[in-house]
């Protein structure tokens, strides 16, 4: 597991006015919570976080949050972005206990799709029904992502959650809830079949409305 260090400093002044002043100074307000310690307001250089936010690991990996020289392991739990500017407005980090299992979502990384029988067949659409999955594991076992090898995917084939190869110590909690939670991750269909399914749904929905309109016109 890679090490990712985020440098921060504590802050004593809170409120909207203080946050605006921080942002004007190219700093980002954030908070750390969880564990046995009280929530702690912090500030981080915006550029550091902006660069990190472009990387996949920032959203699912354990982060070493260095606050005034004291390092805590955390996970990113929330990020508030400006509605139209390239600015991050606020971050929430959650402390992690090395001895307690955590639940978090990680990205799915699809490999060898083009090499698969489905990928080599013309007129076939390979749909990624999921792009991330919630897992449970100890912090030391947290993967940056889970790889999905599609090299054997055939036309008409489906890859379910239960078929994912998980790293040691990693579980998918949903699979313990019953077979109905073993949902499709990847589906390979003929393009004509997919188009037919897409066109059928709206047509069925329009029938009652059309009939109702004709009845109104007849009155």
Q: What is the pLDDT of residues 126-178, one digit of tens each?
A: 999 999 999 999 999 998 899 999 999 999 999 999 999 999 999 999 999 99
pLDDT value of position 205:
43
Mean pLDDT taken over the chain: 86
Is the pLDDT at 104 greater than 70? The verdict is yes
Mean pLDDT is lowest, of 14-28, 55-69, 140-154, 172-186, for: 14-28
DSSP state of 150: -
The model's pTM is: 0.71
Q: Domains of the chain, with CATH numbers?
A: 5-95 (2.40.240.10), 102-197 (2.170.120.20)
Q: What is the pLDDT of residues 176-191, one digit of tens each?
A: 999 999 999 999 998 7
Mean pLDDT of 200-209: 46
**Confidence class of residue 24 from pLDDT cuts 50, 70 and 90?**
confident
DSSP E strands in the chain: the ranges are 5-10, 27-33, 40-45, 63-67, 70-81, 88-95, 102-111, 124-128, 132-137, 145-149, 158-160, 184-190
């Amino acid at each position: 597991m890679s090490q990712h260090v985020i440098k921060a400093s504590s802050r004593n002044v809170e409120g909207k006015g203080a946050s605006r002043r921080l942002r004007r100074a190219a700093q980002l307000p954030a908070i750390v919570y969880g564990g046995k310690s009280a929530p702690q307001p912090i500030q981080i250089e915006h550029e550091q976080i902006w660069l990190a936010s472009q990387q996949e690991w920032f959203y699912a990996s354990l982060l070493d949050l260095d606050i005034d020289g004291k390092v805590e392991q955390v996970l990113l739990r929330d990020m508030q972005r400006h509605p139209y500017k390239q600015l991050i407005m606020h971050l929430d980090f959650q402390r992690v206990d090395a001895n307690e299992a955590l639940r978090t979502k990680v990205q799915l990384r699809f490999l060898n799709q083009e090499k698969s029988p489905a990928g080599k067949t013309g007129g076939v659409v390979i749909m990624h029904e999921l792009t991330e999955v919630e897992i449970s594991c100890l912090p030391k076992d947290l993967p940056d992502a889970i790889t999905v090898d599609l090299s054997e995917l055939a036309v008409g084939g489906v890859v379910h959650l239960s078929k994912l190869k998980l790293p040691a110590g990693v579980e998918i909690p949903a699979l313990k809830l019953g077979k109905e939670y073993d949902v499709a991750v990847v589906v390979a269909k003929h393009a004509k079949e997919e188009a037919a399914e897409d066109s059928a749904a709206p047509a069925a929905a329009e029938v009652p409305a059309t009939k109702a309109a004709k009845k109104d016109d007849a009155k």
